[in-house]
Structure 1
Amino acid sequence: MKNFQQHALMVALGVAASVTSVTALADGHSASHKYEAYLGAARQFIDGKRGIDNDTGVVVGLGYVLDENWTIEGVFNGFKADTEVGAVDVDGRHYRLDAVYNLARNGAWQPFLVGGAGDQGFDVEGGNNNRETAINFGGGAKYFLSDEWALRGDLRAIHSLDEEATDYALGLGVAYLMGAKSAPQKLDSDGDTVEDSLDQCPNTPAGVAVDGKGCPLDSDRDGVFDYGDLCPNTPMGTKVDKDGCPEKIAKTVSIELQVNFDTDSSKVKPQYMSELKDVAEFMKQYNKTNVELAGHTDSRGTDVYNQALSKRRADAVAKVLVETFDVEAGRVTSNGYGESRPVADNNTAEGRAANRRVVAEISTETVE
């Protein structure tokens, strides 16, 4: 009996080793065939209810390929074992019809699910012969050595409908792939001369030059295809917009103005004319900018008086911008805030001088 086990296992593994030594690894493409002949060995894990030892047997199968996903297989699984008590010989056999569902292939590997039904029997030497109807299900994987040969392993549960017992089988073997199918027609839906199965850029516009992957050319490698690139030959590494042109960078530009006044005065001193001219030129350069001139006073005097004085100071600066430096009047507004917004201590002469002021800040967004 042990010689039978060893012989079955050595046949399956010997065939697999021979195939491995004389074939090259598959290139990862799906093989085209109609039939699969399978020879292997399976380790039987017998349900403890049967009182039979686990053992190893031979598996032989023949499959018919329906399509890229489905294969129908007829399988014979035979083994010899001993009873747990008395070491009586038991011949086990399993005839079944299986459906194999092949999952997506990844390189040389292809996982699959399997299930089916059939007849199994246990013949006890000098005793009763037992026949049962059984269903099985499980999964495994194929490793394609070439377009004609593949290694195959699977694990399945075999459930008897008559005895309510479930055995398990772990199989390993080699499959021979036969009957080449006619080559499928190569499709090229977008007409770019690269077939759909290899085309990484489907739906390329008609007449556009493409590379070997079916993608439009991008000569300056800026991420925008040549046919839509309005700025060809962009220097390498330049950030570009959707048209392939150097990306314009937005930034904020600004200018500040501060004009100080003598006590109880709204006269603009000559020393501030150059600063006012800079503000006017800034507003002319960025012609969508507007300015609010904010007038302020120190704390001496009444609130009402200081409010009016701060407004006169703002109006005086506005008049210089409009009449002296030709800024459009509609872009300039002036407001007085009296003594309500000090920036320094009104208890000192220096602090009061700092608070007698007109200030403005102008900013805008621009692109380069």
Structure 2
Amino acid sequence: MKQHFKMAALSLAVISATNAFAQDSAEPEYKSWFGISGMYYNTDESRPLDLTEGEVYDDGLGATFEYGFRFTQSWAARVEFTKLSVDFRDGGDDSGEMTGVDALYFMPDDAWFVFGGVKRQSVGDSTTLGNIGIGKHWKVGETARLITEIATYHDFGESYNDFSVKVGLAIPFGKSTPSAPKDSDNDGVVDGKDQCPMTPAGVRVDATGCSVDNDNDGVLNSVDQCPNTPAGTKVDATGCALKDADNDGVVDSKDMCPDTPAGVKVDAKGCTVFDEETVEITLRVLFDNESAVVKMPKDPEISEFAEFMKQYPSTTAVIEGHTSAPGSEAYNMDLSKRRAANFKEVMVDMYGIEGSRLETIGYGETQLLDKGKNAEAHRVNRRISVTVKDTVKVAEEK
């Protein structure tokens, strides 16, 4: 399985490289090389020996000699001869040789190369192998290169997959005379350093080959319709100042809420940022002895309660009626219910609060505020009480 994985990975590397880079005609840094390398060779773990039944190959070592020729900066070919000795898993070894040819593709600036080819191996039985791999010629001086390669091999007859690692030394020769660097857009900056390779003719450029930006607004002079924008001004794609009608820091072209009130925080779309806040009001109204009449329906506290209900129209309320202790339980229960109902009637008829938002309940004498048996205790216990609470969104301030 690991051998098949290596073959698939190296195949993908070769295909990707040849698709990504078209064949060029540039002169290479050197035209030919001769190399000698040491090789570690690992065989497929299931590859048997025909010579001795029951034994299988393990791994081995070899010495490789190669000669390569570069047609262009990218493309090359080589012939290779390897003297190979492969061990048996249970002891002993077998010697032979491997010869073949490869096509090589060098990445830009000789960063690395991929290769593929055909080999004829004569170790024990002779077999034909297809191989692909990846490598690099490391520059160690003007007259030498360090060779590093890894390759995988596929036996066309038995479907075995081997792999090898190679390290050696190459001597390049036939150096090319370097050509003058190109400047495709004639802006005075050579292609190798030109970050804007399609600059229009006549445009003044900087050291990277890109047109300059005199007012430092991020828009190049060649497209800047407002070339003298003051420093720090936000600009659009044409280099002109962006408008922000409501002064919320979000330009009109991106402002989804163009009339944001002054002094509030906004999000990236220019809309107000809200916090959740809990609002609450509690009201208590006292009644005369044995009476269910709301004596002062226009009392400021009652008016404030009604305004709160109107300000938060999604709220509802439970009006609780209560009595003092004197009297029978049945009588007090009925009186407490009438007190709650009468207060609801005031809210609906006098203040215009929808009846569906108000619920009434009587508790009689079961929830006394003051359990004393004096006149003051009886006075505070004759009451209705109501509490309204809501969670609302409040704009954050800057």
Give the TM-score, by structure 1 length. Answer: 0.51
Matched, 1:258 2:253: no
Q: Secondary structure at the match of 1:136?
A: strand
Which residue in the other structure is 1:367 paired with?
A: 394
- Give distance in 2, aligned partners of 1:314 and 1:86: 107
User: Could you report, residue by residue, the CA deviation over 1:64-94 in whole angstroms, capped at 9, with x for unpaired residues?
Assistant: 89xxxxx986443333456879999855423
Q: Cα 1:74–1:246, aligned 2, differ >3 Å: closer, same or farther? A: same
Which residue in the other structure is 1:45 paired with?
A: 41
Which residue in the other structure is 2:61 paired with?
A: 54
Which residue in the other structure is 1:295 paired with?
A: 320
Q: Cα 1:139–1:252, aligned 2, differ >3 Å: closer, same or farther? A: farther
Matched, 1:280 2:275: no
- 1:131 Cα deviation from its structure 2 partner: 5.3
Matched, 1:317 2:313: no
Q: Secondary structure at the match of 2:290?
A: coil
User: Could you report, residue by residue, the CA deviation over 1:176-225 in whole angstroms, capped at 9, with x for unpaired residues?
Assistant: 999999999969xxxxxxx9xxxxxxxxxxx993499xxx9899xx9966
Amino-acid identity (%): 23
Q: What amino acid sits opposite 2:40 in the alignment?
A: Q
Q: Cα 1:143–1:268, aligned 2, differ >3 Å: closer, same or farther? A: farther
- Give distance in 2, aligned partners of 1:341 and 1:140: 96
- 1:158 Cα deviation from its structure 2 partner: 1.8
User: Could you report, residue by residue, the CA deviation over 1:319-343 in whole angstroms, capped at 9, with x for unpaired residues?
Assistant: 55567xx622436865442227944
User: Could you report, residue by residue, the CA deviation over 1:157-183 in whole angstroms, capped at 9, with x for unpaired residues?
Assistant: 223345776542224689999999999
Asked if the contact 2:130/2:155 (under 8 Å) is kept, the reply is yes
- 1:279 Cα deviation from its structure 2 partner: 1.2
- Give distance in 2, aligned partners of 1:317 and 1:89: 111
Which residue in the other structure is 1:13 paired with?
A: none
Which residue in the other structure is 2:118 paired with?
A: 118
User: Could you report, residue by residue, the CA deviation over 1:299-318 in whole angstroms, capped at 9, with x for unpaired residues?
Assistant: 75354x44542332124434
- Give distance in 2, aligned partners of 1:239 and 1:159: 68
Which residue in the other structure is 2:24 paired with?
A: 34
Q: Cα 1:346–1:57, aligned 2, differ >3 Å: closer, same or farther? A: same
Which residue in the other structure is 2:187 paired with?
A: none
- Give distance in 2, aligned partners of 1:166 and 1:249: 67
Asked if the contact 1:34/1:64 (under 8 Å) is kept, the reply is no
The match for 2:275 among 249, 263, 272 is 249
- Give distance in 1, aligned partners of 2:136 and 2:291: 95
Asked if the contact 1:95/1:120 (under 8 Å) is kept, the reply is no
How many residues are paired up? 292
- 1:134 Cα deviation from its structure 2 partner: 0.4
- Give distance in 2, aligned partners of 1:248 and 1:261: 42
- Give distance in 1, aligned partners of 2:152 and 2:119: 14
Q: What amino acid sits opposite 2:303 in the alignment?
A: K
What pairs with 1:232-247 in structure 2 (closer than 5 Å)?
240-247=266-273
Asked if the contact 2:276/2:391 (under 8 Å) is kept, the reply is no
- Give distance in 2, aligned partners of 1:354 and 1:38: 111
- Give distance in 1, aligned partners of 2:149 and 2:383: 92
Asked if the contact 2:138/2:147 (under 8 Å) is kept, the reply is yes
Which residue in the other structure is 1:159 paired with?
A: 154
Q: Cα 1:139–1:295, aligned 2, differ >3 Å: closer, same or farther? A: same
Structure 1 residue runs without a partner (length 5+):
1-29, 66-70, 145-149, 188-194, 196-206
Asked if the contact 2:306/2:353 (under 8 Å) is kept, the reply is no
Matched, 1:76 2:60: no
The match for 2:253 among 221, 227, 241 is 227
- 1:283 Cα deviation from its structure 2 partner: 3.7
Q: What amino acid sits opposite 2:343 in the alignment?
A: V
Which residue in the other structure is 1:93 paired with?
A: 99
Which residue in the other structure is 1:136 paired with?
A: 131
Q: Cα 1:329–1:120, aligned 2, differ >3 Å: closer, same or farther? A: closer
Structure 2 residue runs without a partner (length 5+):
1-19, 50-56, 140-144, 185-190, 200-209, 211-224, 226-234
- 1:295 Cα deviation from its structure 2 partner: 3.2
- 1:256 Cα deviation from its structure 2 partner: 1.8
Asked if the contact 2:297/2:346 (under 8 Å) is kept, the reply is no
- Give distance in 1, aligned partners of 2:393 and 2:370: 39
Matched, 1:330 2:354: yes
Q: Secondary structure at the match of 1:337?
A: strand
Q: Cα 1:366–1:248, aligned 2, differ >3 Å: closer, same or farther? A: closer
Q: Cα 1:331–1:296, aligned 2, differ >3 Å: closer, same or farther? A: closer
- Give distance in 2, aligned partners of 1:231 and 1:51: 74
- Give distance in 2, aligned partners of 1:143 and 1:253: 75
Asked if the contact 2:60/2:85 (under 8 Å) is kept, the reply is yes
What is the CA RMSD across the aligned residues, in angstroms?
6.3
Q: What amino acid sits opposite 1:295 in the alignment?
A: E
User: Could you report, residue by residue, the CA deviation over 1:92-143 in whole angstroms, capped at 9, with x for unpaired residues?
Assistant: 423245799x9xx9xx99899x6845132449xxxx9x75310224567899
- Give distance in 2, aligned partners of 1:61 and 1:341: 109
Q: Secondary structure at the match of 1:249?
A: strand
Q: Cα 1:32–1:72, aligned 2, differ >3 Å: closer, same or farther? A: closer
